[in-house]
């Protein structure tokens, strides 16, 4: 099955395809396309720029097609399948495969900080055969990327033994062999949350486990994009990303069960000296959101026998959960998910995520982003420290 419509049959061959998934991004997509074109030109590569759109109604497609891509060809498609980022990316994988691209680069359509040299950083490690997968390494505000900071980064690193700071960063480089791996997966994969916001963690984890060479991180400086408040805008993303992460834990359990240490991932390029945009979090609103959401899930939570009542009571009272309790909770929910494979388990976890972010915000109010980063790494170490017991419990019934 093709995941796209209305693409010319004979596109030719290209060195690089830059893919931009979109939905109502008319204000920013032209800048992303133009910047990508400049980056491709600077490298002297033959490039194609592809927009995979989800039915935008704000003129996104027109803005893309009217962008000045310096003579490089561009194509806008309407993807098929479940509405979501993953379906958009799946269609672009097919096009990259069709044109025999050596590297596929994915860029978020809401980027306001992308620079032409990002293309070099994301492409060259693959073109030089050093890796098949390049993840972004951004300079970010301490409150940007709360799903990454509190679960995707520490848990994925502790499980698979590779310290990848931005496994769901949105801007990636993918080699031809890895694209073939992604396209070889059964069609049923694209009927899950991988078709939505689960795509990034799925791509990163698959690359870690199934590539011959470990991923490399590209230093990209500050990422300026449409930032979302964790208490107001991230519920859907959290559910889709975390359920995908837990599903991957089940599918790849033999790959992570014996890993007891975490190693650093190579970084390509020097990180520029840049300021990051300030992010303000509604702390009181986040605490109330945690309390309310937890109250709504109490009946379901009582089914988790090992979950300590003190943790639940603390969230109901304060709207926060400390680092140690959060790690305990995540592992308990992962164990429960393994046995039940049900989305409602992720919904049960959601209030604790709100409470974890609230606790982090409260404790880092007077810290700069470098100081706050130390706490994020402490959380990773705690996931690793408690992994041995978790592994014993996970495989007890396997």
* Residue linked to tokens 């020097």: 270
pLDDT band at 229 (very low <50, low <70, confident <90, very high): low
Element (H, E) at 315: helix 309-318
pLDDT band at 228 (very low <50, low <70, confident <90, very high): low
pLDDT per residue over 139-174, tens digit each? 999 999 999 999 999 999 999 999 999 999 999 999
- pLDDT at residue 230 tops 90: no
Query: What integer best gives the mean pLDDT of the chain?
Result: 93
| pLDDT for residue 397 | 62
- pLDDT at residue 2 tops 80: no
Q: Cβ–Cβ contacts within 10 Å for residue 163, how many?
A: 17
How is domain 16-268 classified at the CATH fold level?
Spore Coat Polysaccharide Biosynthesis Protein SpsA; Chain A (3.90.550)
| pLDDT for residue 227 | 56
Shortest CA distance to 31 belongs to which of 42, 20, 41?
20
Question: What percentage of the chain reaches a pLDDT higher than 90?
Answer: 85
Question: What percentage of the chain reaches a pLDDT higher than 70?
Answer: 94
Q: What is the C-alpha end-to-end distance of the chain, expressed in Å?
A: 35
pLDDT per residue over 57-96, tens digit each? 999 999 999 999 999 999 999 999 999 999 999 999 999 9
For residue 292, count CB atoms less than 10 angstroms from its CB and return exposed for 0-12, middle for 13-18, buried for 19 or more: middle
| pLDDT for residue 5 | 64
Shortest CA distance to 119 belongs to which of 13, 32, 213, 206?
32
- pLDDT at residue 295 tops 70: yes
What's the token pair of residue 286?
Answer: 């986040």
| pLDDT for residue 396 | 87
Handedness of CA 160, 168, 143, 138 (dihedral sign): positive
The 3-state DSSP composition of the chain as helix, strand, coil percent (nearest 5) reads: 50, 10, 35
| pLDDT for residue 370 | 87
Q: What's the rounded mean pLDDT across residues 206-222?
A: 97
| Three-state DSSP string of 112-129 | CCCCCHHHHHHHHHHHCC
| pLDDT for residue 299 | 85
- pLDDT at residue 232 tops 70: no
Instruction: Please state whether the predicted TM-score (pTM) of the whole model is above 0.85.
Output: yes
What's the token pair of residue 249?
Answer: 């834990």
Q: What's the rounded mean pLDDT across residues 121-143?
A: 96
| Cα gap 37→156, rounded to integer Å | 33
What's the token pair of residue 289?
Answer: 């959101």
Beta bridge partners of 263: 162
pLDDT band at 4 (very low <50, low <70, confident <90, very high): low
Shortest CA distance to 79 belongs to which of 69, 89, 68, 66?
89
Element (H, E) at 217: strand 216-222
Helix (H, G, I), strand (E, B) or coil at 141: coil
* Residue linked to tokens 């520490």: 154
Listed by start position, the domains of the chain span 16-268, 283-394
Q: Cβ–Cβ contacts within 10 Å for residue 237, how many?
A: 18
pLDDT per residue over 308-366, tens digit each? 889 999 999 999 999 999 999 999 999 999 999 999 999 999 999 999 999 999 999 99
| Cα gap 291→299, rounded to integer Å | 14
């Amino acid at each position: 099955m093709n995941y796209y419509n209305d693409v010319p049959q004979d596109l030719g061959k290209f060195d690089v395809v830059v893919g931009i998934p979109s939905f109502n991004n008319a204000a920013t997509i032209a800048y992303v396309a133009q910047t990508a074109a400049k980056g491709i030109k600077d490298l002297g590569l033959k490039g194609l720029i592809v927009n995979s759109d989800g039915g935008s109604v704000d003129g996104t497609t027109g803005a893309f097609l009217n962008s000045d891509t310096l003579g490089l060809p561009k194509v806008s498609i309407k993807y098929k399948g479940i509405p979501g980022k993953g379906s958009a990316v799946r269609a672009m994988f097919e096009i990259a495969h069709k044109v025999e691209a050596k590297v596929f680069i994915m860029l978020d359509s809401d980027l306001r900080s992308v620079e032409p040299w990002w293309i070099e950083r994301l492409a060259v490690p693959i073109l030089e055969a050093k890796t098949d997968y390049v993840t972004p390494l951004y300079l970010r505000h301490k409150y940007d990327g709360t799903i990454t900071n509190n679960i995707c980064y520490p848990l994925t690193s502790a499980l698979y033994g590779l310290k990848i700071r931005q496994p769901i960063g949105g801007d990636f480089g993918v080699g031809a062999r890895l694209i073939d791996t992604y396209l070889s997966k059964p069609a049923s994969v694209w009927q899950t949350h991988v078709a939505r916001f689960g795509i990034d963690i799925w791509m990163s984890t698959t690359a870690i486990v199934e590539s011959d060479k470990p991923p490399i991180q590209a230093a990209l400086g500050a990422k300026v994009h449409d930032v979302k408040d964790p208490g107001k805008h991230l519920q859907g993303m959290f559910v889709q990303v975390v359920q995908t992460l837990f599903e991957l834990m089940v599918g790849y359990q033999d790959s992570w069960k014996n890993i007891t240490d975490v190693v650093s991932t190579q970084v390509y390029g020097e990180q520029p000296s840049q300021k990051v945009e300030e992010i303000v979090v509604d702390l009181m609103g986040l605490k109330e959101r945690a309390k309310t959401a937890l109250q709504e899930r109490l009946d379901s939570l009582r089914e988790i026998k090992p979950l300590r009542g003190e943790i639940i009571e603390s969230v109901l009272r304060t709207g926060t959960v400390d680092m140690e309790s959060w790690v305990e909770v995540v592992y308990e929910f992962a164990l429960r998910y393994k046995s039940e494979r049900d989305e409602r388990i992720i919904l049960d976890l959601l209030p604790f995520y709100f409470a974890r972010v609230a606790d982090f915000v409260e404790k880092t109010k007077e810290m700069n982003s470098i100081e706050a980063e130390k706490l994020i790494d402490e959380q990773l170490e705690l996931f690793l420290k408690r992994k041995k017991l978790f592994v014993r419990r996970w495989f007890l019934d396997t």
